A and B are shown apart, each in its own frame.
Chain A
C-alpha cells in the first residue's frame, strides 16, 4: 500500500466525476455522482483498513513540489482519517437524499456536491498551510451555489450571508498564515506543528485564526449565518453542511490553534469557555421556541459545537477525545435529523412543526428512526451522542467545574427541545387530512436511514473502533499543550488502586490486610 497515492486518487475521483456530471443529462448525472461517491467511500474504507494504528503520526504521505512556493503535500493522521471517513460515508447518502427532490439543473447540482467532496477531503488531508487554505476557502464556492440555486424561498439572502460571513473570517486567517510562514520559513504543517512561535506573536495569530474558525464553527455570537443557511439549503445541502462543514472549524482548532499556539490557547481559553457556555444555554433556549424544524436542529448544532469547543479547550485526553467523538457523532446524527426533516418535507412541503402531528400512526418506520436519532442527539447511553458528551464533560470538569456545570444544562435543555419536537411531530392525534395521506418510508429512504442508524449505534456501543486511530494524535496534542496548561479547579487526586487479587484469595487477602493493621 505504501507509495500508492491513494489520497490523490480520492481527490481525483470526485473531481473528475464532477466534470463529467456538468456535461451529463439528469439521469446520467445522478448515476455518475452515486458511483463516484461510492467509489470514494470504498477508497476510504481501504484507507482505514490500511491505517496503522500506533504507527507513524502521518501516514499515506505524498509530496510533489508542483507549485514552487508551496507543495502538493498530503497525509493524514488518525483525526483526519476519521473525519475523511465521515465525509465519504455521508456523501453517497446525500446524493441519494436528493435523488428525487432535486429536479432542475441536476447535472450542476451533482457536480457541485462532488466538488464539495473533493474540497473536504483536501482540507482534511492537506499537509501544506497554503494548500490547506486553498481547500478551506474553496468550499465557499460550491456551497454558495448549492444554497443559492436549490435553496428555499429566502435562499439568496442566506447564500450571501454564508459567503460573506465566512469569507470575512477567513481573510484574517490568511494574514496570520502569511505572518507564520514569514516567521517559520516553511509552509509544511508537520514542521509548523513543532515550531515555537514567540508568545506575543501567538496571541495575535491565535486571535486571527479564531476570527476565522469561530465563524466556521460556528460559535456564538457569529453563528447567525448557520440557521439561515440551513433553513434555506436543500436537504442534502443541510446534511453536508451540518455533517461535515461544521467540523472544519473544530478541526482547525485542533490542528492549528491548539498545537501551534499553545501559550495563546492557554492564555485565551477563557474566551472560548465563556462563548461556549453562553452558546450552550442561549442557543438551546432559542431552539426550544423554534417553529421551523430545520431551524431548531440548526440551533441544536450550535449548542453541540459549543460543547466541542469547551471539550477541546479542556486540554486533556478525555476532553479532546470526547470532542472528537461528538464531532463524528454529530456529523452522523445531525445529517440524519436533517434527512428526517427532508423526508416529511418532500411529502408536505413545509417545515412548520405545527403542520404535522400523529405521524407515528401512519409512518411507523419513520417514527422509529426519528426517535433513534432524537435519542442520539440527546445523548442517550447506547447511542453515539452519549459517548462524546460524557467524555468531553468529564474532561471539562477536570479543567473547570463551573464550565462543566453550565455545559451539562445544555444536555438537559437538549433533551427538552428534541423531545418536544418529537412529541409535536410524531405523537398526538392524526387529524390533518394531508398528513394522514403521507406514506411511510420508501426503499430509497430506508437505504439512507439504515446505514446512518447503524453507525450511530456502533459508535454508541463500541466507540473504541473510532477512538483507537485518534488516541495517539490526541496524546500528541495534549503533550504539546502540557507546558502551557493551567491548573484545573477540580484538584483531582489519582486514586490508589488496590493490588489485584487472584480468585479464592479474597478471604485470605482480607485477613492479611487485617493482620497488618
Chain B
C-alpha cells in the first residue's frame, strides 16, 4: 500500500495542493489573488516534477487499477502545462471577479485528468472522468452573473450527464459480458468470440468517450460551451481535457479493445471522418472566434482519430505528437483571443471586428496567422508535422481510403482558417478599436514562444519528440 502511494506522487501532490489552495482562498479571502495563484502554480510544478521523477517506471498500482507509465506521464505533463497557463491568465480576465475556486477547480480537474490518462480499469476511468467533468461544469459557469456562462455550464452539465450515462451503460455491458473491469481482462475476453452484448458495450463506451473528445456526432455541446464559458476556461477546455480524453480513448481502444480491431476500428474511422468534415464545414459560417475555434478543435480531433484508427504504435506516436502540437497551437490562439479587447476593455469575439488587425497590432496578427496556418497544417509551420505522422500511420496500416478522404477534407478546413487571415490582413480596418497594451508579459511571452516554436523551429525538435512519443506509445503494445 505504502509502496503504491509512493508511485502516485503527482496525484497526491495535486490533491494536497488543491486542498491547500482551497483553504488559502477560504481563510485569506478572494482578494489575495497572488497567494492562491502561487500555491496553485507551485502545486502544478511540483506535480510535473514528480511525473518527471517517475519517468522510466512502468508498473501498476492499487491492484492493477491505475498504471504508472510513460504514456500517462506524457499526457500528464501536457495536462499540467496547459492547466498552468490557464491559471496564469485568469486574474487579468476576471479582474475583480477572480475567486480562489478557479485555481482550485483547475487543480482538481487536472487530478481527474491525470487519473483518466493512467487508468487501466473501467472504474478508475469513470472516477477520473467524473472528477474532471464536475470541476469542468462549475468552471464553465464560473461567471455566474453572466447569462451565456451560466447557459454554457448548464448545457455542458446536461449533455455531459447524458454522455456519462451512455458510458456507464457501456461499462456495465462490458463488465456483464466479460466479468471484469480490468482492461487486460477485457482484452483477453475480446480476443475470443464477440457477442452482441460486447459489441454494444464497445459502441456505448466509445460514444461516451467520443462526447468527451467532442467527436462528431457527439460534438453538439462544444461550440455553445466554448462560446459561453469565460475565455480562460475555454482555453482550458480546448487543451487539457482534450489531451486527457484523447489519451484515455487511446488507452481504452488499444489496451482494452485491442484484439477486437474489427469492432472498434470502423467506429473510430467514422468518428474521425465525420469530425474532420463536419468540423470544417460547420466552421465556415461562424462569426464568433471562440465558436470557430470550437469547430477547429472538432476538426483537429478528427485528425487525431486518423492516427488512432491505424491502431499501430506509429499511429499512437502520431496521436501523442499531435496532442502536443495541437495543445501549443490552441493555447497560443486563445491567448491571442484574450488580448483582443476594445477601448472599453470588453472582449472582442466577433470575427468581422478583427478586420485590419494586422495594421493595428502587427505582432498579434502575425502570431495568430502562424497559429491558424499551423492548425490548417500548411508547411512550413509545424502543424504540418503531426498531420503528416497520423496520415503516414494510416497509409502504413492500409487505411488508404481514410487517408485520402481525410486529407482532401483538410482542404475544406483550410478555407476558414485562411478566411480569418484574410479578415486580419486583407480587409480595411474595422470600427472596433483594439488598442495595444495592458498585455501581461507572461501572455506575450507564451504567445511569442509558441508562435516561434510553431514556425520552422519546431522541426529541430522532431528527433526529441520522436523519442518521447515512441517510448510513451510503446507502453501500450
Contact = CB atoms under 8 A, between A and B. Distances in A.
Contacts of B403: 175, 178
Contact of B391 (A137, A138, A175): A175
Contact of A149 (B395, B414, B426): B426
B379 interface: yes
A135 B414 CA distance: 18
B460 A66 contact: yes
Nearest to A145: B425
A160 B403 CA distance: 24
Interface stretch (A164-172, A339-347, A357-365, A383-391): A164-172
B379 A138 contact: yes
Chain B CB within 10 A, most for which of A108, A159, A163? A163
B396 interface: yes
Chain B interface size, as a band, is 20 to 34
Nearest to A115: B380
B415 interface: yes
Q: Is the interface of A mostly helix, strand, loop or mixed?
A: helix
Interface residues of A, number: 34
Contacts of A230: none
B380 A175 contact: no
Q: Is the interface of B mostly helix, strand, loop or mixed?
A: helix
A416 interface: no
Nearest to B466: A68
Contacts of B396: 178, 182
Given A134-B379, A163-B418, A168 B411 contact: yes
B440 interface: no
A272 B418 CA distance: 32
Contacts of B426: 148-149, 155-156, 159
Interface string A223-261: 000000000000000000000000000000000000000
B395 A164 contact: no
A52 to B, nearest CB: 31
A167 B404 contact: no
A144 B415 CA distance: 12
Contacts of A168: 408, 411
Contacts, number: 85
A171 B378 CA distance: 10
A67 interface: yes
A172 B418 contact: no
A137 B414 CA distance: 13
B388 A163 contact: no
B379 A137 contact: yes
Contacts of A179: 395, 400
A145 B391 CA distance: 28
A149 B425 contact: yes
A164 B414 contact: yes
The 9 closest A-B pairs by CB, nearest first: A68-B463, A134-B379, A68-B462, A171-B407, A148-B426, A138-B380, A178-B395, A168-B411, A137-B379
Given A149-B426, A168-B408, 12 more contacts: A67-B459, A68-B462, A134-B380, A141-B373, A148-B425, A167-B414, A168-B411, A172-B404, A174-B391, A175-B404, A178-B392, A179-B395
13 contacts: A66-B460, A67-B462, A68-B462, A69-B462, A134-B384, A137-B380, A137-B384, A148-B422, A160-B418, A167-B411, A171-B407, A171-B410, A178-B395
